[in-house]
Structure 1
Amino acid sequence: MTSTDTAGHSFAYYADLFSHPEAQGGGEVGAGESDVLADLLVELVASLRSEHSKGVMPRNRAWHERERVLAYASAEAETADQAQGSLSVLRRALNVATTLMALRPWGAVAQWATPKLMVRDLAQVTRYLAREEKDSSGLTLDSRIRQRLHEALGDSPAVVVAHSLGTVVALETLHDRRAPAPLLVTLGSPLAMRTVVLPRLRPQPASTPESVKRWLNFWDKDDIIAVRPQLERDVRPNESGVLPCSSRIDSDGIWVHSAEKYLAQPAVAGPVAEALTAAERSAS
């Protein structure tokens, strides 16, 4: 479904599409998707370890403690025994998330809340990229999600702001759209995960859609989902030479991956407001 506010801004809502008939919420995965989630876990931890080893942090007690936690999370993520299927992988995901949360002193609340949020977001990316879960008309889950975004965008030029899984949805949807996008903003994006996400994007190779005139990508230093945040290293330009331009922001709080945290940053909200104002002037 889509909704439009009084200013004419449209929002694509698709969280309801992630609810299985037998379960509530977006954290469950089917048997055919568990391998994707397992690979996603391995790459997530490997990316964090790689960034840690290349960082400028002095190799003191804190550095070695972080390395110990990451090594433990890596061992949890790479557990080969998947005899219990998707339920086993979900347990692994929650274990890995809980271990990773020990990297920062977020307190007792984060120890149960944040891992569940992380697993929910990873599970949704997994289910989208699996391109399964057909409905009665034969449309897969990812097709139904992109259909929602197409409905929200309509046929006119549009400024597109996308978050998390929405950045994957937006990229694929904009490749099928002729109307220009003066600005694409991606927040907390998993697009640059080279093992799991990039190879599964459509079309291949990953590139800026021809309709996009400018692409700003924002990542938070504490956003555990936005690993390898420099999208311009992995995405090809469109024919106009447009590439994503990645910028780091720093938020505070337990779970900085939320869209609200990103949009509260002036560096993010400013360009969006300017692009919307320009688009409204052009339309008037």
Structure 2
Amino acid sequence: MATGKPQLLFVHGIGGLRDIDTDRRRWLQALAAGARDAEMADAISGLTQGWLVDVTFANYSDLFNRPGAQGDTAWELDEDEAPFLAGLLDSMLEELAEQFPAASSPQDARIIADARYQLDAAVQGRQSQGVGDVGRRLVGVTTTVLRLPGVRQAAQWMNGWAVLSHLAQVGRYLDRRAKRAELGAAVRERVLENLDPTRPLAVVSHSLGTVVAYEALHEYDGAVNVWITLGSPLALGAVVLDRLVPHPASCPSNIASWLNFWDRDDIVVGRPHLANWIGPSKSGVKAVTERVDSHGLWTHTATKYLEHGAVARPVIEALRP
């Protein structure tokens, strides 16, 4: 049985270079807001001042981003990345079409249909197009998706090219060829390197971080009181699910509780399918999925999720003696 001061591990997702101190503080502030929402304000000082838990923000962003790179120069579409991105966008559009059917959301459905048309044209013409042209067509798809009301405001600070470049990180992590497999191993090492398997652990992972955490926790020797997944693409069909290791996908055996949260306006998530498509652990633990509704700019951020009492409550309960 794990004993000692609990550990809280944050695992970030797609995006640019991170600052550990800044992001750790922002995630903790969002978790504190969630504690207030859950009427657990008595836990806030213990979280933010460190006497309740030791907090680790696992930063692997430099493995995907070149220091000093700015904007579009940070990433250029690789020929090998195009098929993965097309598949990922296909899965995302399929999910969005289910969320916004024409009968109840005609305007949203038209936007999704427009994006689907652009994606099909990019895929069908890939053989005769250069990588740059395929990239521009795929950027057109993500730009169109950003017109959806739930994410429209995000276009003020994030364009279609930036979204596509960030989504490409998922494919780069899941690439099992020799050089790219080394990248995945290095990412998982960053996540696990500061943990003590003899002490209790709660894990909060977001976006690509849920994919990383899935594989890292299968390698971890310690017990995990709760694993929280936020905005997870784990169940985005064959493009992600079938690439996971170990496979077929199952809950890591050291997890006592797995809670998965998704937001209707989060364009990256695989919705409730995660609980159905990833098998239970040997002890019968599997994901329990719950929807949360956020408001404002760009719902695909960890802090938006952490501000919800439904997310903060199980984290705090897992950390208390």
Q: By the TM > 0.5 criterion, same fold?
A: yes
Cα distance in 2, alignment partners of residues 234 and 133 from structure 1: 28
Give the secondary-structure state (helix, strand or coil) at the position aligned to 2:268: coil
Give the secondary-structure state (helix, strand or coil) at the position aligned to 1:92: helix
Aligned Cα root-mean-square deviation (Å) = 2.7
Q: What displacement does 1:48 show? A: 1.5
Q: Which amino acid aligns with 1:17?
A: L
Partner of residue 135, structure 2: 90
Give the secondary-structure state (helix, strand or coil) at the position aligned to 1:247: strand
Cα distance in 1, alignment partners of residues 208 and 197 from structure 2: 23
Instruction: Say whether the 8 Å CA contact 2:151–2:298 is kept in structure 1.
Output: no
Partner of residue 220, structure 1: 263
Q: Which amino acid aligns with 1:81?
A: G
Cα distance in 2, alignment partners of residues 131 and 29 from structure 1: 18
Q: Which amino acid aligns with 2:187?
A: I
Partner of residue 78, structure 2: 30
TM-score by length of 1: 0.84
Partner of residue 149, structure 2: 104
Instruction: Say whether the 8 Å CA contact 2:202–2:318 is kept in structure 1.
Output: yes
Q: What displacement does 1:133 show? A: 7.5
Per-residue CA shift, 1:42-94, capped at 9, x if unaligned?
221122123333xxx8x36xx33222211110111222223222x33432332
Distance change (3 Å), C-alpha of 1:31 and 1:105: closer
Partner of residue 175, structure 2: 130
Give the secondary-structure state (helix, strand or coil) at the position aligned to 1:93: helix
Partner of residue 318, structure 2: 275
Cα distance in 2, alignment partners of residues 204 and 105 from structure 1: 34
Q: What displacement does 1:229 show? A: 3.3
Q: What displacement does 1:106 show? A: 6.0
Per-residue CA shift, 1:218-242, capped at 9, x if unaligned?
1111111013333111010011100
Partner of residue 166, structure 1: 209
Q: Which amino acid aligns with 1:225?
A: V
Deviates more, 1:264-273 or 1:108-117: 108-117
Distance change (3 Å), C-alpha of 1:255 and 1:116: farther
Instruction: Say whether the 8 Å CA contact 1:48–1:227 is kept in structure 2.
Output: no
Cα distance in 1, alignment partners of residues 77 and 252 from structure 2: 30
Per-residue CA shift, 1:225-273, capped at 9, x if unaligned?
0133331110100111001000010111120000111111111111111
Q: What displacement does 1:41 show? A: 1.2
Instruction: Say whether the 8 Å CA contact 2:222–2:254 is kept in structure 1.
Output: yes
Partner of residue 63, structure 2: 17
Cα distance in 2, alignment partners of residues 160 and 108 from structure 1: 30
1:152 has 2:194 as partner: yes
TM-score by length of 2: 0.75
Give the secondary-structure state (helix, strand or coil) at the position aligned to 1:113: coil
Distance change (3 Å), C-alpha of 1:27 and 1:187: farther
* Higher RCO structure (Cα 8 Å, ≥6 apart): 2
Of 116, 121, 124, the residue aligned with 2:166 is: 121
Q: Which amino acid aligns with 2:92?
A: L
1:81 has 2:125 as partner: yes
Q: What displacement does 1:95 show? A: 1.1
